[in-house]
């Protein structure tokens, strides 16, 4: 076995091309830390479970579709409770912070972090950081107990508040140190987890016994490696209501067009899955797939054809789609949010107006268009049952890892198993819909919309998305559930 370590990732290699991308441990930079028997040993709920403690060598493969001769590939450490813990119950002083946009399930994760710490490990000092990263240094904290969080999973939003911007690593770590916090649970998206990685680096540089743990959150499902992000399922389900409404409006009038805008800044997963789930959508437009309006093979031609054939149509558009077509009208100074994310213009309104103008100008076809913008409605709701269970497992895994002394990781579902993933694997890129994969092809064949790609664009898309290593025949597909790109495909049965 060969080893290679940097501060954020420990690579252990083994026979037959086995690679473990391991997560840091407090032991890496603080020697001789005392350990304690895991209190779950005597917890009546768990003591009866056979093999409750995770074996030290348990790891989970990132890729489960393999050839007979292919290397075993990348693995992640399996999440779960360990025999030994590195924190005594009385010593634990945990805090929880939520950052970035809202997402169904945030309150469930908060609830389950608090309850896991209290009920599994007997830890009773848990603080909520008020209003995102800046709350570390500019606000009072909120005391969290099982009683306080008892029914918060039934509410949307986050009871401790969230924000964008305001990440000051040094001030945040000063606050962690001043308050005597030794477990930091950070719930957020790609930006938040970059912030978490910076906090981890600073904590390590200062030699503090502080576990820094991320729980990946994003309604856009744009976090790589993991099967899917919590809240995504709920958001797709809620989007059905808007699509249904658009369909009812459209089919009730002559030449009715319903336009629905859904979230998805850089990735169109919500639009793609909501479209596939609904079956009422005739056209789905996402950021990853460029489109055009005028001329042969363009959107206007397709609208006209669909209306002639069916008398009505529904268009779903992700908020980040086609931004390049309307970027000319962006107001200077309003381009970025406080976290530095590009501010998007209302592409739903724009496309609705363009369709109306086009058909009015041609005076050939009178159409009635209704534009529905449910963007915030799909993320401000409580999580559904499936997401609630998922949030619970993520939170419990996060706590088990911190108690076992791991740090600098996010908990995450990989091929249906809870794992610990090094921060830099999560922050190195964004997960996007791969338009040369089978999932997008399935969508195109379900809506019958044009691909809007000429031979030149198609060649470029294939070139851009070419996987780094040789794939199995027909493996250039996405996982039906996660929509992950080809280098991370694991579920052959979905292709
Ligand atoms: N590169 C970075 N380094 C440190 N902190 C960052 C970085 N990018 C973003 N942050 C901080 O992370 C927090 C959340 O970031 P952002 O607003 O981009 O949301 P996010 O976590 O990506 O979630 P989402 O995009 O799903 O809403 C903000 O407080 C922001 O200042
Ligand atoms: O209006 P806000 O809160 O900045 O959030 C909008 C963005 O947040 C997200 O929900 C998550 O990144 C995006 O889909 C959306 O563009
Ligand atoms: Mg983000």
| pLDDT of residue 54 exceeding 60 | yes
Using CA atoms, how far apart are residues 172 and 151, in angstroms rounded to an integer? 29
Using CA atoms, how far apart are residues 211 and 205, in angstroms rounded to an integer? 13
CA distances to 114, 135, 245 from 55, rounded to whole Å, are: 25, 38, 51
318 DSSP assignment = E
| pLDDT of residue 466 exceeding 60 | no
**CB neighbours of 468 closer than 8 A, spacing ≥ 6?**
487
Mean pLDDT along residues 234-243: 97
Given this model, what pLDDT does residue 480 score? Answer: 39
**Which of 160, 164, 191 for a ligand 1 pocket mutation test, highest count of atoms within 8 Å of Cβ?**
191
Question: In 3D, which of 113, 139, 261, 132 has the Cα closest to residue 191?
Answer: 132
Give the burial class of 267: count Cβ atoms within 10 A of its Cβ; 0-12 exposed, 13-18 middle, 19 or more buried: buried
CA-CA-CA-CA torsion sign (30, 36, 39, 40): positive
Tokens of 395: 């939170």
Does the interface ipTM go beyond 0.95? yes
* CB-based contact 235:191 (threshold 8 Å): no
Q: In Å, how far from its chain's centre is CA 346?
A: 23
Q: Compute the chain's Rg from CA coordinates.
A: 24
* Averaged pLDDT score across all residues of the chain: 90
φ, ψ at 34 (rounded to 5°)? -70, 150
| pLDDT of residue 329 exceeding 70 | no
The bound ligand whose nearest atom lies closest to the alpha carbon of 220 is 2
**In the structure, what pLDDT confidence band is assigned to residue 342 with cuts at 50, 70 and 90?**
confident
Given this model, what pLDDT does residue 365 score? Answer: 80
Using CA atoms, how far apart are residues 188 and 348, in angstroms rounded to an integer? 27
| pLDDT of residue 213 exceeding 80 | yes
**In the structure, what pLDDT confidence band is assigned to residue 470 with cuts at 50, 70 and 90?**
very low
Given this model, what pLDDT does residue 324 score? Answer: 87
Using CA atoms, how far apart are residues 379 and 12, in angstroms rounded to an integer? 39
Which range (111-120, 280-289, 418-427, 448-457) has the least confidence?
Answer: 448-457
For ligand 2, atom 6: residue with the closest CA: 101
Q: Measuring from each residue's beta carbon to the nearest atom of ligand 2, which residues come in under 6 Å?
A: 101, 189, 218-220, 263-265, 319, 337, 379
Query: Using one digit for the tens of pLDDT, what is the confidence trace for 271-318?
Result: 999 999 999 999 999 999 999 999 999 999 999 999 999 999 999 999
Q: Percent of the chain, pLDDT > 70?
A: 88
Q: How many CA atoms lie within 13 A of 321 on its CB side?
A: 30
Q: Measuring from each residue's beta carbon to the nearest atom of ligand 1, which residues come in under 6 Å?
A: 99-101, 132-133, 164-167, 188-192, 194-195, 198, 218, 339, 341
Query: Using one digit for the tens of pLDDT, what is the confidence trace for 108-142?
Result: 999 999 999 999 999 999 999 999 999 999 988 99
* Cα 420 to ligand 1 centroid, rounded to whole Å: 21
Q: Are strands 36-37 and 2-5 parallel, antiparallel or unpaired?
A: unpaired
DSSP calls for 7-55: SS-EEEEEGGGEEEEEPPBGGGTSTT---EE-GGGG-HHHHTSTT-SPP
Given this model, what pLDDT does residue 50 score? Answer: 75
| pLDDT of residue 2 exceeding 60 | no
**In the structure, what pLDDT confidence band is assigned to residue 57 with cuts at 50, 70 and 90?**
very high
Tokens of 263: 């979230």
Residue of 22, 130, 190, 220 marked catalytic: 220
- Residue 212's beta-bridge partner residues? 184
């Amino acid at each position: 076995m060969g080893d290679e370590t940097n501060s954020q990732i420990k690579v252990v290699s083994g026979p037959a091309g086995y690679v473990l991308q391991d997560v840091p441990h407090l032991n890496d930079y603080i020697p001789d830390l005392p350990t304690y028997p895991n209190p779950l040993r005597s917890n009546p709920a768990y003591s009866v479970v056979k093999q409750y403690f995770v074996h030290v060598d348990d790891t989970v493969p990132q890729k489960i579709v393999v050839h007979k001769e292919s290397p075993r590939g990348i693995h992640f450490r399996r999440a779960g409770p360990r025999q030994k813990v590195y924190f005594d119950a009385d010593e634990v002083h945990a805090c929880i912070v939520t950052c970035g946009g809202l997402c169904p399930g945030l309150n469930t994760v908060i609830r389950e972090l608090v309850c896991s710490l209290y009920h599994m490990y007997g830890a009773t000092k848990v603080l909520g950081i008020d209003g995102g990263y800046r709350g570390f240094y500019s606000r009072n904290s909120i005391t969290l107990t099982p009683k306080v969080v008892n029914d918060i999973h039934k509410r949307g939003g986050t009871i401790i508040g969230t924000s964008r911007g305001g990440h000051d690593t040094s001030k945040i770590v000063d606050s962690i140190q001043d308050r005597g916090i030794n477990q930091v649970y950070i719930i957020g998206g790609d930006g938040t987890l970059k912030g978490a990685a910076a906090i981890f680096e600073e904590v390590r540089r200062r030699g503090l016994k502080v576990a820094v743990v991320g729980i990946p959150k994003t309604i856009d499902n744009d976090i790589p490696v993991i099967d899917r992000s919590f809240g995504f399922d709920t958001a797709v389900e809620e989007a059905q209501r808007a699509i249904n409404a658009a369909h009812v409006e459209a089919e009730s009038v002559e030449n009715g067009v319903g336009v629905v805008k859904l979230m998805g800044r850089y990735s169109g997963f919500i639009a793609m899955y909501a479209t596939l789930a609904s079956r009422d959508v005739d056209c789905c437009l996402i950021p990853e797939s460029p489109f055009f309006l005028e001329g042969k093979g363009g959107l206007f031609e397709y609208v006209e054809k669909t209306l002639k054939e069916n008398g009505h149509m529904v268009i779903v558009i992700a908020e980040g789609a086609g931004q390049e077509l309307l970027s000319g009208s962006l107001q200077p100074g309003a381009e970025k949010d406080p976290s530095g994310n590009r501010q998007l213009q209302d592409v739903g309104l724009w496309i609705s107006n363009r369709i109306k103008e086009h058909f009015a100008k041609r005076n050939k076809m009178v159409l009635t268009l209704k534009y529905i913008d449910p963007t915030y409605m799909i993320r401000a709701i409580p999580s559904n049952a499936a997401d609630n269970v998922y949030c619970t497992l993520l939170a419990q895994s996060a706590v088990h890892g911190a108690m076992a002394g791991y740090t600098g990781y996010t908990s995450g579902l990989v091929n249906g198993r809870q794992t610990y993933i090094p921060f830099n694997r999560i922050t190195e890129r964004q997960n996007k819909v791969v338009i040369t994969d089978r999932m997008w092809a399935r969508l195109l064949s379900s809506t019958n919309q044009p691909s809007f790609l000429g031979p030149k664009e198609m060649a470029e898309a294939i070139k851009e998305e070419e996987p780094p290593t040789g794939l199995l025949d027909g493996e250039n597909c996405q996982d039906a559930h996660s929509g992950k790109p080809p280098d991370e495909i694991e579920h052959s049965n979905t292709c």
